[in-house]
Structure 1
Amino acid sequence: MLSAACGSSGNTPIPGGGGALASALPGTDDKLIQQAQEEGQLVLYGSPRDEAMKADADAFRAAYGINVSFTRIAGAPLTSRVDAEVNAGRVAVDVVFSPDVAALDRWAAGGALEPIPEVDYPTRERYYAVMQIVGQGIVYNTDLVSGGDVPKTWNDLLNPKFKDMVVIGDPSTSGAYSQNYFALLKDKRYGEDYFDKLKAQSPRVETLAIVNQSVAAGDAAIGFTSFPTDPNIIKSTAPTAPIEFAYLDVVSTANTYLATMANSPHPNAAKLFAAFMMSREGQTAHNGDDRATSPLGELDGTLPAPDPDVVSDVTVVEATKELSTVVDLFRRLY
């Protein structure tokens, strides 16, 4: 899905979020702001939802009067698009939001990335920083599951009362989507034996969209793997839908990173945008409206982080490498 947002440009910084002057942000100065405003625009590619990148574009334009054109490209096509531009020597993008750490490291090693501004930000590395954190868990139908019946552990899904009422997402969607399945496989409390036991519940395997729709419609009591934003997406068109999200006792988290490209058409706007996105203003814009968790902690409208004690150390990179293991397991069992 492709989308673009742009707005009028200006030459004077205007107040940013919270009433603080945007020009006072760490990692910026008047010279950088002036040069960025002379460039007048920024090109952004990313995998986050359109709503998040539109919020980023609107907030950045409100702070600095600089237009942002964004294109949403998810997964491998995003990496391929950037690779093609870098290899052709014609980089059209200034800033990338990507979950692909391996690609980011490869681009950095090859000189395709510029260092991001040096600011005090929890996840900042030399060439990239985490913009959003999204955990994986379950969705459940509140008409069918409530009170003490709401699962707290993955073992709770094995309760006989949930037989024929569980729907699970197809792991072949992507390595990122299968991350929590692989985390369960690696966890000593669960492992392959857990999936063998789950088979007794006669779960249906569906796409992620069908998982959430089935739970909201009452065709299933519980669905996984799902994301905290999934009920919000359902409720945006069906406000009274009986669907909620919960973290259980094994949670995998997927990070999306910001990086600025070398030899980009608007290098100063890119630096300014990166500094803005590592500020409270930028993080609130990006992760607000219950879209994701911010590395800066709980800001207005951002999602609370899962309990650190239940977060798995399994990464997207690991899960992607082992995707065939999970897919083969599902084909054998379900």
Structure 2
Amino acid sequence: MTAPGQASPLIIGHRGAPGYRPEHSRSSYDLALALGADAVEPDIVATKDGVLVLRHENEISGTTDVADRPEFSSLRATKIVDGAEMTGWFTEDFTWDELATLRVKERIPAVRPSSASFDGSSGILRLRDLVDILDRASAESGRDIGMVAEIKHATYFENAGLPLDELLASDLAGTRYADGSGLIVEAFERTVLHQLAARGMRATYIYLLEKKGRPFDAVAALGKDAPKYAESLTDPGLDGLAADQVIDGISVDKSLLFSSDGSTNDLVERAHARGLTVFTWTLRPENRFLRKPFRSDGPPESFGNWEEEFDAILRTGVDGVFCDHPDLGVAARDALDR
């Protein structure tokens, strides 16, 4: 998706700038853009009445004040989402008007107390709200800001009567992203990417790959015979992705870029040799999230030797990185040329 003259790799504001503000809040996105992010990544789930909203998960007790709202106590439920039992409050049980009354909060306040100081200051955003934010910021800055839309739990939502492919195509129709310019769509399930392509949605399609586990669309279809994510990272697996008429690239857990001895490996090189774009997630500076060789002696919430880890990752030749602190990603990219 890198445009001519645009710096590489892309610095993608992961849920905005959640190192500084509660994730997916308006201030998180505004700050990400002010800090130089080339694109931002919204996680997309749906409400009961088919409105696409921005939450990391459809279970929202960890990122909103819903648990403190007695009027919604009856909506607390236990569900099986992608094979895992979860208890809490789920977006698909709320109308948009109901969700709009909630306030967002920091997901990991012990690690990011400064961000937690903004708890309650803003509400949940819809996807269409983010499109407006990006349109305004692009016009004001004179640069085209991209969107990396992650579709969450597509099979689950389709079974609930909320097809995310249909809803996303509808929401983006008529926007500046409708022609595919500046739009990346990613998912941990290949099926929904194929459904979107079949609808004629033009985008760069990225298959998300975890270190462990299996894609739930395959599990739903094949049960125990479903392939593991790891199989896609083998040479035959990458060959299969390269032959896919829809998939343009992969996005991987950053740990998959490292060998057991701590050095970076050849995954990016092997994927590029097959014409696949490669993104990675998530670059975070706190000791809690850094790989062991890059941690400092401070507590988990302190910044470790993030410059070294970021530099090692960027030097693999990766095409885009997801950052909780977009300014640090920009700084690491700038340092590559020194």
State TM-score, norm by structure 1: 0.25
Determine which structure has greater relative contact order: mean sequence separation of CA pairs < 8 Å that are 6+ residues apart, divided by chain length. 1
State the structure with more CA Rg.
1
State TM-score, norm by structure 2: 0.25
